[in-house]
Structure 1
């Protein structure tokens, strides 16, 4: 261990010396020095026969290049290096248990490196020794406030093209880092129900921190997802041919390929925003279960479940509803959002009590379709929800149903959220619901997606019958 630490510090001195510059330097020279530094770290920590993990100062320098570098080449190179280092030197991972008979934790044993580097400085973080000091001294690490600002800046897109790209890549990386720390803990917690282990995840600490602008992050992520298609037409961003913000001291070759790389970077940023929302939703599920068994405390920092915050955003900004559901690709959570959205606008049975453990039938997709076959109930819903919104939600829910039903892992979820109806019954229910909506609203025009859902449902119903 001591030899490894000595090697890491020797590596730190050799690599950081590349970045040391005194006096006035040309922009081209600084650019080349940064690239040389990134290459040196990659060679020593990833490509060497005896690789050594980077020190905190080296990690900090790489992150600073990603945030402050002034070219696409530096942004991509630093992002890729951080991503590869995350895979090679994980902070948390699961290994197979050596003795399954005596190990009460099941098939996996968690391994945690408490001194591992993280791009977040979480206020409740419990570092020790050198890592703790460097964590406090760093000016590059993100905290809850800067993470919230980052999501807002990406959603607004009011910076130069290079800065937008840097923000997108930084966002992608920090979400990957949160995921890499969270998923092993989540898997282990589901097997053993060790809530304390999951509570130590960076994501849980970040969400639980009371000074974090939670709603702002949710709003930013939803805006990134919802405006995905507008970004493709450059409505929200400056023309990529605009050289504003690009240093004239750097060669043009530093920016070649920006217009080609931008759409892919943008797509993966939207995916990262979706992934972050899903991670917090999964965390909410476990926290709710832990609270049921009395495993949580006030210090755990419970907030309003994120899915309720998402619903509030979609309720008060209906223009966001269609683009968000179109871009949000996780069928399980999309269906959950749609059912809860419908649930806000129909009257529940008067016999339902807070002690009821099972959902009433009309909180399933089957139940919603049945509601629209009843003129009284459907009329009540349509007084609160427009026929256009109802068609959109039904078509998207049907798409989720088709995506979920063939995966054996989703059997329990489908039974709970869809109901007991067969595929032909669901298809016939959708056809009937959309036809009834047309009767209620003669001016209703189905979108191409809704027409496709209607045609698919009719075809499947006839085939199965």
Structure 2
């Protein structure tokens, strides 16, 4: 297992001393050689750890130095080089992984073992004992790791930038923050995914409980709901800022200004792509938070949790609340969030939440079927009465947007998975689930028109109807 080997517990003093010696001018900010020295240091680490087939893992001190270069970089070249090196090192020397991820492992292995290196360096300070992590304390020339509240401030600053709020930050500072956020989310993901897979396969809740994401969201140094909402708004605002038709698009304007006013045209050219990657990273963070909630719900059902695990409002519920209070964000959110199954989950819960049923039927329905069945929300549009109730609560335009995105999501899901989702609803299992869904889409829009004969079908609604009709015509 060469790729997934333990980070050196006995420090490679020679490699560390040779590499760190290059950074002797690290604190001499007036030195004209700082930039070159830092690039040389990054290359030295890459040559020692990644280039050789059996490269030596970098020490924690070296990882800390690379991270600090990214935080304090004064050039685009250094920001990109340090970010790429950090990500490559994480792939070569992961902190958390499953034993069967090694391709050399025998395929007959019965179960994967979760491997966790607690002593490995982390860019985060998520422990309850990190009381001073918010301060700009310098230790041996390097700042402390990012604290939960520091991560929240990072989200807030990017949200303000995406909203178009005037900022004194240079574009390099903004780009560096985006790379920083991408890297931190990458760390969350690399830590969470193997732990979550281990939980789903082996019901190992303790390991998932110890994930960086769970510790971060449970930190007493932040308000969980504020972080969840910040993440949601960063996603929506970044998407809106990147939309050419948006009159308040800060991205297009700022990039154009840079091309004419900024001497470094490379920075102006790179910013749109970095914004795109940041958008995808924030979407990943939302997915991780939702999947953590789903796993915790499963752990609760299996009586694996305790009171010490605490209670948090599920991310999906927070998203639904924000979408209900600001329906203008519904379309950009569903466009930016492209995970089809989780998107269906959100649409399903949103419609069910505002589908008011007669009290005499509520208990019977609760006992007979799961109201949160992913495809089952189409049953809310079986008659004009329930459809009218939903439209009254949510709005006709919002309903059209959700139905259209639900169809898009269903068409993106593999046939086998779609069969599983459809089996939870009243769809005839003998029929193609996509055929049933297309029929449901057409039926739902028909009921919408019955509630209001003057209803204007949105372009996205017309597209959904055309797509559904086309599918039905090819399947007939």
The alpha-carbon distance between structure 1 residues 125 and 275, as it changes in their structure 2 partners (threshold 3 A), is farther
Which secondary structure state, in structure 1, belongs to the residue aligned with residue 393 of structure 2?
coil
Q: Supply the distance in 2 between the matched residues of 1:2 and 1:289 (Cα, whole angstroms).
A: 32
Matched, 1:454 2:465: yes
Q: Supply the distance in 2 between the matched residues of 1:358 and 1:207 (Cα, whole angstroms).
A: 35
Q: Supply the distance in 2 between the matched residues of 1:353 and 1:442 (Cα, whole angstroms).
A: 33
Matched, 1:284 2:288: no
After TM superposition, the score normalised by the length of structure 2 is 0.84
Aligned to 1:348: 357
1:239 alignment partner, one of 222, 242, 254: 254
Query: Map of 1:99-138 to 2, 5 A cutoff?
Result: 106-124=110-128
**Contact 1:346-1:381 at 8 Å conserved across structures:** yes
Aligned to 1:295: 304
Q: Structure 1 segments of 4 or more deviating over 6 A? A: 97-101, 134-137
Structure 2 unpaired stretches of 5+: 131-137, 162-166
Q: Supply the distance in 2 between the matched residues of 1:434 and 1:135 (Cα, whole angstroms).
A: 63
Aligned to 1:8: 12
The alpha-carbon distance between structure 1 residues 64 and 427, as it changes in their structure 2 partners (threshold 3 A), is same
**Contact 2:123-2:145 at 8 Å conserved across structures:** yes
The range that moved more, 258-267 or 84-93, is 258-267
Aligned to 2:135: none
**Contact 2:380-2:387 at 8 Å conserved across structures:** yes
1:51 alignment partner, one of 52, 55, 63: 55
1:160 alignment partner, one of 161, 164, 170: 170
**Contact 1:72-1:258 at 8 Å conserved across structures:** yes
Q: Supply the distance in 1 between the matched residues of 2:8 and 2:55 (Cα, whole angstroms).
A: 9
Aligned to 2:336: 327
How many residues align? The count is: 446
1:118-144 Cα offsets, whole Å, 9 max, x none, are 211111489xxxxxxx99996241111
Which secondary structure state, in structure 2, belongs to the residue aligned with residue 36 of structure 1?
helix
The alpha-carbon distance between structure 1 residues 144 and 324, as it changes in their structure 2 partners (threshold 3 A), is same
**Which has the higher relative contact order, 1 or 2, with Cα contacts under 8 A spaced 6 or more apart?**
1
| 1:371, distance to aligned residue in structure 2 (A) | 3.6
Q: Supply the distance in 2 between the matched residues of 1:291 and 1:113 (Cα, whole angstroms).
A: 27
The alpha-carbon distance between structure 1 residues 442 and 135, as it changes in their structure 2 partners (threshold 3 A), is farther
The alpha-carbon distance between structure 1 residues 176 and 420, as it changes in their structure 2 partners (threshold 3 A), is farther
Which secondary structure state, in structure 1, belongs to the residue aligned with residue 115 of structure 2?
strand
RMSD over equivalenced CA pairs, Å = 3.3
Matched, 1:145 2:149: yes
The alpha-carbon distance between structure 1 residues 418 and 219, as it changes in their structure 2 partners (threshold 3 A), is farther
Query: Map of 1:16-415 to 2, 5 A cutoff?
Result: 16-21=20-25, 25-26=29-30, 28-48=32-52, 50-96=54-100, 106-124=110-128, 139-157=143-161, 158=167, 159-232=169-242, 233=244, 235-237=249-251, 239-240=254-255, 255-348=264-357, 350=359, 351-353=361-363, 356=366, 359-360=369-370, 364=373, 367-404=376-413, 406-415=414-423
